Amino acid sequence: MTCPKIFVLLSLSVLLAAATAAPPVTLRQAADKAGILVGAAVRPSLFSEPAYSATLAREFNMVEPEDAMKWWVVRRDADTFDFRQGDEIVAFAQAHGMRVRGHCLVWDHNNPEWLARGHFGTDQMSQLLQQHIIRVMQHYAGQVFAWDVVNEALDEDGRFKDSPWYNRPGIGLAGKGSAYVEQAFRWAHQADPKALLFYNEAEAEGLNGKSDAVYAMVKDFKIRGVPIDGVGLQMHIPGLDFDTSQISPNIKRLTALGLQVHVTELDVSLPIGSGGSFSKDDLQRQAEIYRAIVRACVENPGCTAIQTWGFTDKYSWIGSHSHGTRGGALPFDRLYQPKPAYEAMLEEIARRSSR
């Protein structure tokens, strides 16, 4: 006859084993178990929408502002810094045990009119940029763990773009290649030595001229001791014929330099069908692209974060950017229901935790 105490202990052991073996049911649970960050770019004005805030807190362990820490929001005039929107994001993250990624300190876009049309000289531009980096990073020191210091400095051919910081008028380093990028990283490191510093770029996810230029620049930085910790690969995927096979080798060569890689702005847009719908075939192909990108990251220990640009199709830049011809780019639909892309992300992140 079985002793009741032994029976109870055996039952508890079976239940505990079953609970331990149960697969994660949210992206956040899977990511926490796998030791990776899974995040989304957010708008603080939407935190008051219950479905938005609940889905965000449940599914992600990292957030990044879409706009709230960019120049045009933070610094509407030369003498004033307004951190209210960014502070809302930090407060939300702290309340829900999430990490915060900062975006971005230096970009040729999204600069306020007073800066773009100010007719400043190079010395003034240098002072303005140094002051901006120091003020913003020191304000968020200990609250923002990583920053996109410089965003999209290169054109599609891997050459440095004309920009207010490079040569229009620049900070005094025009024609000297990556020197202005290097200077921004040095100022950023001085402002917050504990923050991880990233160079963030679009259309450099595979092996091409632009990604070769990014690789050459960051390799040079590592050799010369420029304080850089990682590369952000945006991954705004514009079509379902996208070749995912070159993502893994690109991540591999970057992490081999001793750098981290973050997937920073992932979305995969779809053609909009009649009535604003998407075909099942397109949704499945979208999921396969999400799966391949997430797999390329989770299979490399140096790829430490995966982030989508938004998370619900209800609030996505794709519609306005494509003039209404494309959409449905994110893992949750407009009603916050998970799509096949979500399931693909969850499965791939869970695979990492099961190894």
Supply the pLDDT for residue 246.
Answer: 98
Angle at 70 between CA 64 and CA 72, to 5 degrees: 145
Of 10-24, 106-120, 132-146, 234-248, which gets the smallest average pLDDT? 10-24
Look at residue 277 in the predicted model and tell me its pLDDT. Answer: 87
Please state the rounded mean pLDDT for residues 51-55: 98
Q: What is the mean pLDDT of residues 162-190?
A: 98
Q: Is the pLDDT of residue 1 over 80?
A: no
Residue 181 has pLDDT above 50, yes or no: yes
Q: Which fold has domain 25-353?
A: TIM Barrel (3.20.20)
Residue spans of the domains in the chain: they are 25-353
Q: What angle do CA 352, 26, 56 make, to 5 degrees?
A: 120
The stretch 215-237 carries a mean pLDDT of: 98
pLDDT, tens only, 104-129: 999 999 999 999 999 999 999 999 99
Task: Tell me the pLDDT of the chain averaged across its residues.
Answer: 94
* Omega within 30 of 0 (cis) for the link into 3: no
Q: How confident is the model at residue 265 (pLDDT cuts 50, 70, 90)?
A: very high
**Mean predicted confidence (pLDDT) in 283-287:** 98
State how far the Cα of 88 lies from the Cα of 118, in Å rounded to an integer.
30
Find residue 270's DSSP bridge partners.
327
Beta pairing partners, 41: 64
Neighbours of 15 (CB within 10 A): 10
- Tell me which of 112 and 21 has the higher pLDDT: 112
For 92-99, what is the mean pLDDT? 98
Q: Which two tokens stand for residue 18?
A: 């079953």
Q: What is the pLDDT of residues 304-332, one digit of tens each?
A: 999 999 999 999 999 989 988 999 999 99
Q: Which residue has the tokens 């490191």?
A: 189
Active site positions, annotated: 152, 265
With tokens 């619900």, the residue in question is: 312
Q: What is the pLDDT of residue 355?
A: 66
Q: How many CB atoms lie within 10 A of CB 328?
A: 25
CA dist., res. 74 & res. 86, Å (int): 8
What was the pLDDT predicted at 7?
A: 43
- Average pLDDT on 287-292 reads 98
**Residue 14 pLDDT exceeds 70:** no
Q: How far apart are CA 95 and CA 102, in angstroms?
A: 18
3-class DSSP state of 98: coil
DSSP tally for the chain: helices H, then strands E:
13, 11
Res. 11: pLDDT tops 50:
no
Distance CA 66, CA 316 (A): 10
Q: Which pLDDT score is estimated for 18?
A: 43
Strands 270-271 and 326-327: antiparallel
pLDDT score recorded for residue 22: 65
Antiparallel, parallel or unpaired: β 196-201 and 146-151: parallel
Side-chain half-sphere exposure of 246, counting CA atoms within 13 A = 13
pLDDT of residue 2: 47
pLDDT (average), residues 281-307: 98
Query: In this predicted structure, what is the pLDDT of residue 19?
Result: 45
